[in-house]
């Protein structure tokens, strides 16, 4: 029996090669765009450090003022993280991820209008608030398309984008600040925020147009492939009902340890 023939029987006879082929098909369809979005998300978190010296000089900011403004991004991000994901669950991951990208892209590009210390503070907080919920929202979206047995590998692909953000973004940021300083009468740090923010608006539009909310909506999957993928996600995601409270999550073995590890990575 062929791989697709096996899928048509409900997935029970699906070969390992056939299953891997479906996952590869889904990954190639979704992950390039998602990884590019995540690359820009991470870059827009760190671009303030590349702009530091020109921005401080032009705005007359002290090191303390710069540090406060840089940290206000995190405060906005943390405050709106959970509310953002609650809305994502209600309106759909695709629409909300697109909204996040478009709004944070516009807010990032708006850095070119900053002239005072308080404008710097306010916009940095706004950028963090607009981006809040993006990373966990993307992780939730991936659970809708990939069975648990593949999610570790898919998530590792996603996080590669953050590494490439620094690898590619840092030298490009240096080129932009150094070689575009004065182009059209704008300082280099203005160009840095424009080139980091405006592409996110386009990416948000592409997310809205190219991604789908459900497996059933994917015209590029055959009915047999949709049936198999949905069945595998449903079967592998079943687990005993242990409750869904925050306290229950904290009691999960390793939860706090992993939280500490991630905290230290970010620090």
pLDDT in tens, 147-191: 888 888 898 888 888 888 878 888 888 899 988 988 898 999 999
Q: Could you give the CA distance from residue 218 to residue 226 in angstroms, rounded to a whole number?
A: 8
- Whole-number Cα distances in Å, 225 to 104, 123, 144, 210: 35, 45, 14, 19
Please choose, from the candidates 34, 39, 67, the residue with its C-alpha nearest in 3D space to the C-alpha of residue 165. Answer: 39
Q: Which domains does the chain have, with CATH numbers?
A: 33-228 (1.20.1250.20)
pLDDT of residue 5: 47
Which SS3 state, helix, strand or coil, does residue 52 take? helix
The number of angstroms, rounded, from the C-alpha of 69 to the middle of its chain's C-alpha atoms is 22
210-217, long-range: CB within 8 Å, 24+ apart, which pairs?
210/33, 211/30, 211/33, 211/34, 211/94, 211/97, 211/141, 212/94, 213/92, 213/93, 213/94, 213/95, 213/144, 214/144, 215/144, 215/145
Is the per-residue pLDDT at 1 higher than 80?
A: no
Is the per-residue pLDDT at 7 higher than 90?
A: no
Contact 27, 153 (CB under 8 A): no
pLDDT of residue 15: 62
Is the per-residue pLDDT at 10 higher than 60?
A: no
pLDDT of residue 35: 92
Is the per-residue pLDDT at 13 higher than 50?
A: no
Q: What confidence category does residue 252 fall into, taking pLDDT thresholds of 50, 70 and 90? A: confident
- Region of residue 79 (phi > 0: left; psi between -120 and 50: alpha; otherwise: beta): alpha
Is the per-residue pLDDT at 242 higher than 80?
A: no
Element housing 181 (H / E): none
Element housing 80 (H / E): helix 63-91
Q: Could you give the CA distance from residue 178 to residue 191 in angstroms, rounded to a whole number?
A: 10
The secondary structure of residue 97, as a DSSP letter, is H
């Amino acid at each position: 029996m062929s791989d697709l023939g096996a899928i048509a029987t409900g997935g029970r006879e699906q070969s390992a090669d056939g299953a891997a082929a479906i996952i590869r098909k889904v990954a190639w369809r979704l992950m390039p765009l998602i990884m590019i979005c995540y690359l820009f998300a991470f870059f827009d978190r760190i671009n303030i450090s590349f702009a530091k010296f020109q921005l401080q000089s032009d705005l007359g900011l002290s090191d303390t003022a710069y540090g406060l403004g840089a940290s206000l991004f995190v405060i906005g991000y943390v405050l709106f993280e959970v509310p953002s994901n609650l809305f994502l669950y209600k309106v759909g991951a695709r629409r909300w991820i697109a909204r996040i990208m478009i709004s944070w892209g516009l807010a990032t590009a708006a850095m070119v209008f900053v002239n005072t210390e308080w404008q710097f503070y306010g916009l940095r907080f706004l950028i963090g608030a607009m981006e809040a919920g993006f990373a966990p929202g993307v992780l939730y979206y991936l659970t809708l398309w990939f069975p648990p047995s593949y999610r570790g590998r898919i998530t590792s692909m996603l996080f590669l984008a953050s590494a490439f953000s620094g690898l590619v973004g840092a030298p490009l940021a240096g080129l932009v600040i150094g070689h575009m300083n004065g182009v059209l009468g704008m300082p280099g740090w203005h160009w840095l925020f424009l080139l980091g923010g405006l592409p996110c608006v386009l990416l948000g539009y592409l997310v809205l147009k190219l991604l789908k909310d459900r497996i059933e909506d994917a015209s590029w999957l055959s009915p047999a492939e949709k049936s198999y993928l949905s069945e595998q996600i449903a079967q592998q995601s079943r687990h005993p009902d242990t409750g869904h409270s925050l306290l229950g999550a904290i009691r999960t073995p390793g939860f706090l340890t992993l939280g500490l590890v991630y905290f230290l990575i970010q620090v």
